[in-house]
Amino acid sequence: MSPRDRLVTVGTELLEERGLAGISLRSIAGAAGVSHGAPRRYFPTYQALLAAIARRGLEDLDRRIAPALVVDDLRAAARAYLAFAQERPEMFALITRHDLLEGAGGHLREVTGRWFADLGATLARVTGRAIGPEEVLALWSGVHGLAALTSRRATEPTGVDPTAALDVLLERHTGKHSTPAPRNRGAAKR
């Protein structure tokens, strides 16, 4: 593993363990076994290292949601987004911090921009109608908001299954019930 990749890997591990507030350039360098100045050879700023860590998280999330969007499965894409937020809350928080990472490299917007376009195209195909960017953003905001709340366990006191709330959200945007219809029991016995 190259020193650059090692810094990103160790930074990812520390982020997941400690959260963004619990890491620094120095702590990542120390855990990677390099001097505290060594990361500057690969990343001009701490934000550039964070952007590389975020890019790795975005790629992981992309591997989960892109295949679902290709086959117009909004439910699977939204559930993958929600699951990622639940499983990796610290990474989820970092990859959505465009305010912190803007201009730091990592080309994060090329991934999220593609998601926005793919979500709009999928929503248009699923609903059979033209979809404006405002509606795409409204759907993404709803899914993201539920994921953010769930990632920080804020939905637990409600007693509501977040995936059930996700289904309601998708139904509102698509006009279609998103859970599979029950199978005909008589047909299954034949």
Residue 37 sits in the same domain as residue 112? no
Residue 97: inside a domain: yes
CATH number at 16 reads 1.10.10
User: Do 94 and 30 fall into the same domain?
Assistant: no
Cβ neighbors of 164 (< 8 A, separation 6 or more) are none
Domain with 18, as residue range(s), is: 1-42
Tell which phi-psi region holds residue 125, choosing left (phi > 0), alpha (psi between -120 and 50) or beta: alpha
Tell me the mean pLDDT in the region 3-17. Answer: 96
Long-range contacts of 76-81 (CB under 8 A, 24+ apart): 77/119, 77/122, 78/143, 78/166, 78/169, 78/170, 79/163, 79/166, 81/143, 81/144, 81/147
pLDDT of the residue at 164: 95
* Residue 186, in any domain of the structure: no
pLDDT in tens, 82-104: 999 999 999 999 998 878 887 77
What's the rounded mean pLDDT across residues 47-55? 94
Model confidence pLDDT, tens digit, residues 12-45? 999 999 999 999 999 999 999 999 889 999 999 9
Residues 71 and 115 in one domain: yes
Band (177; pLDDT cuts 50, 70, 90): low
Would you tell me how many other CB atoms lie within 10 Å of the CB of residue 60? Answer: 14
| Average per-residue pLDDT for the chain | 89
| Count of other CB atoms within 10 angstroms of residue 79 | 22
Q: Taken in order 132, 134, 135, 139, is the CA torsion positive or negative? A: positive
Our CA dihedral for 166, 149, 139, 162, rounded to 10 degrees, sits at: 0
For range 142-171, the mean pLDDT: 95
- Residues 95 and 58: beta-carbon distance below 8 Å: yes
The reply to whether 130 and 151 lie within a common domain is yes
- 99 within domain boundaries: yes
For residue 190, the model assigns a pLDDT of 33
> pLDDT tens-digit profile of 100-151?
887 777 688 888 889 999 999 999 999 999 999 999 999 999 999 999 999 9
Whether 184 is in a domain gets the answer: no
Would 187 be classed as within a structural domain? no
Domain contains 185: no
pLDDT exceeding 70 applies to what percent of the chain? 92
Same domain, 116 and 78: yes
Question: 32 with 6, same domain?
Answer: yes
Mean pLDDT of 168-185: 66
